Amino acid sequence: MRVLRIAGEGIGSLAANKLRTFFMMAGTIVGIAALTVIMAIGKGTEKRVLQRVEQFGPQAMMVVAGGGKAVGPPDSSVTTLTLDDARAIREEVPDLQYVTPQAWESAATLKHGANQIQAMIWGVEPQWHEAWKWYAAEGDGITDEDNATLARVCLIGTSVKRDLFGQTDPIGQSLYVNKVSLTVKGVLERRGTSGMGGGDFDNRIIVPLTTAMRRMLNVDHIGGIRVVTKNAALMAEQAEQITQVLRERHRIRPPLEDDFRISTPTAIAKVVRGTSGTLSILLVALASLSLLVGGVVLMNILLISVAERTKEIGLRRAVGATRRDIFAQFLTESLSVTFLGMLLGSVLGGGVSLAVGRLTPLATVVSWEPFALALVFALLVGVFFGVQPARRAARLQPVEALR
């Protein structure tokens, strides 16, 4: 009961000075809110990394024309990969399930009637559907016969279906791609946006690879090769084997750089986590600085409070309060301020996190971890910065305090 009474007196003193109490907790509110948002963004980034790996395929690799960056969008202007490269990989690297070449154009003009949009074209072989686990939701997929006859057919993504055809059934209808007429034979399953909040996967069409290369793009090179391994444990070894095959075919010797790059789920996750981790470290440092500043402000205002309440402390000591009681009262005030600041900061941070997730491309996940961490921070700040004012108040002599 004695402890509760002392705590009640400390909280009552805070309630009597609302503006001063708010200034004491302002730094804690901002620091905890920032920490909550940072952790929510970190969790959201982690979730999207896993989504991207899942979309990419845990047993898949992508060989893309052009060296340099480890991950990123394909560059259709690079001409360093050919169908013979894909054939060599298929023949020389063991334990591969699918090796399917692809040609693309990132921004082609699609037209149907009065509607016109920009979308990506992919020229593919029939195995593309299995290699990407991406099938026709309506109609039929690309076949060997389509490739053999350079058929003027295509499958469209759901975004293309919506923007060009609206509510009309597109199967069997024609559209123009860069002024080449194609018949829609199917609609691809919906995939949504990319794992890191990038482009629309469904804003694309796929056509037979031969049709793309000879009728539409007029090229003798490909943009990339989708490789799916039979055993994910062999992926690193197979990636090295593919590298050696292509270096030999392209006559690349040190110090020349590779004119291709190989993306794997591990590489994608590593790059994304590395970028996210660097940003998180910076933001955590800023949040910690905010908490430190808030703690310093808290300590100074409490020291001023001790000076203002000298007579009150002297009177309490004179009627029987011990140094321990005075120390407990002021430490309780410090902890109450940081605890209340933690609650308000967590609520504010949670609200901001939800708003960020809805209004920006960033993904956020609000979980219990930031609240637990906020509680620990609040206790540490309250104790560390509250001890000195509490000790000063407890050391005041009753007679001197009452003068």
Mean residue pLDDT across the chain: 80
Based on the domain organization, do 184 and 162 belong to the same domain? Answer: yes
Q: 103 has which bridge partners?
A: 123
Q: 260 has which bridge partners?
A: 65
Q: Is residue 26 a contact partner of residue 33, using CB atoms and an 8 Å limit?
A: no
Q: Is residue 131 a contact partner of residue 147, using CB atoms and an 8 Å limit?
A: no
Based on the domain organization, do 110 and 248 belong to the same domain? Answer: yes
Domain coverage including residue 378: 2-51+270-402
Q: Can you give the pLDDT at residue 291? A: 72
pLDDT tens per residue, range 14-48: 555 666 667 777 777 877 888 788 778 777 777 77
How many domains is the chain partitioned into structurally? 2
Q: Is residue 370 part of a domain?
A: yes
Least confident piece of the model among 57-61, 203-207, 230-234: 57-61
Could you tell me the pLDDT band of residue 269, with boundaries at 50, 70 and 90? low
Based on the domain organization, do 129 and 246 belong to the same domain? Answer: yes
Q: Is residue 248 part of a domain?
A: yes
Based on the domain organization, do 16 and 118 belong to the same domain? Answer: no
Q: Is residue 119 part of a domain?
A: yes
Q: Is residue 303 part of a domain?
A: yes
Q: Can you give the pLDDT at residue 52? A: 67
Model pTM score: 0.62
pLDDT tens per residue, range 131-175: 999 999 999 999 999 999 999 999 999 999 999 998 899 999 999
Based on the domain organization, do 164 and 247 belong to the same domain? Answer: yes
pLDDT tens per residue, range 304-316: 777 766 777 677 7
Based on the domain organization, do 235 and 375 belong to the same domain? Answer: no
Pairing of strands 153-156, 180-188: parallel
Based on the domain organization, do 240 and 283 belong to the same domain? Answer: no
Based on the domain organization, do 113 and 251 belong to the same domain? Answer: yes
